[in-house]
Structure 1
Amino acid sequence: MKKIMFGLVLIAVLAAACGGPALQPTPLPTQPPPTSTSPAPTETHIPVDLPPAQLAAINALAEAFGIRVDEIKVVSVEAVQWPDSCLGISYPNARCAQAITPGFRIILEANGEQYEYHTNESGSAVASAAATLTWHREGGFAGFCDDLVVVVSGQAQAGSCAPSTAYPLGTLTDDELTQFKQWAKSFGSVVIEMRDPAVADAMTIVLTFSGNGSGQPTEADQQAMLNWAQSVYDRLKP
């Protein structure tokens, strides 16, 4: 669900009305100006009294999705003892120190959507728990070495690992994104491995998925996820 600080200041402009000259030569008693009832301007900066970990999560979300910080609210904060330095979020090839790390699970909301972030106690480490899919294919007669990374925002990065080449960043179609979000709600951490018999040109495919649910995919679901990933890769490959 993969960051920068934003400072936003709102300047309120008030206009004062001026009365015209009197039409009669006789002076009239001066009336006191009406009391202004204009509402106070809406605050567009992060409240300064928020703890550092919550501020860090808000800034990370604002940067990742281009959301104004004043449109983000904190839904819940839970103190957690994370099992490693990666704050309980594992990614392929990530190096995580296996040490208990005190921190927080922070749920944020913006534009009707909720986002989960993990932090350490000080907020110096922040990680998005957004659903992520990785797909790796290697071997076969054609000598494949292909990679795909997809995040719940709809961004998808395809590439080759022989040699290491990243193709232009792409986006999921509406149907692809709908399917991805359905899996994210249903499944938790998923690893799918498919290997050909041990021959010289054996094909290996590994798919990892980190969702927000708690279930595991059936065999049919696993095959659907593999087919989906290869279809997205084939569409994004130049």
Structure 2
Amino acid sequence: MTTGDHPAVVALSAAIEDAAGLLRIPTDGVALEGMDAREWPDSCLGLGREDEVCTDAVTPGYLIRLGDGFTYHADQQGNVRRARDDVPHTDTEIRLRYSVSGGIAGQTTSYETDSYRLTRAEVDELRRLITEADFFNVPSSLPESPVADGITVRLWIAVGRRNHEVVRGDGINADDTEALEALVSWVADRTPARHPRVSGESL
């Protein structure tokens, strides 16, 4: 089996071709954001239509996340299904990355999510927190001077094509609002703890 014949490569190629066709761009213009092995509950890859007959059998495959909010379910034969019937609204999709690094042990933890991995209630709550924090207008700055074994916290959020990163940590003086702290707490609660856990890990 050549690399091009590998089930993962075949599935990814099919998903990229479909997304490129919908976006009307070359396939090399479609970005891969993530791909994980999954087992789907039926032959319809968990995305059967109401009038569709699906075989009730576990189907090995992949979850493929592409740029512009496209998510696909695939099997190992290269069959793919888009996770939503409509083309995603690129002006409303949320993507988020959060990381905490540094300290005496130099350990790092991170959390990443997007609108497709959250429930509708979580998306609504996160969107509200972003709005209340006025996140895209929050100043971001680097430490005034290097701090030995200092901790650095980064929160990057994109809504549609608009994105912004806020950096906080030792050596950075910032008068953050309660609304921003509430947003960070929401994210931090979903982030794996560093070991040993360091208290005060927030923006």
Q: TM-score, normalised by structure 1?
A: 0.35
Bigger radius of gyration = 1
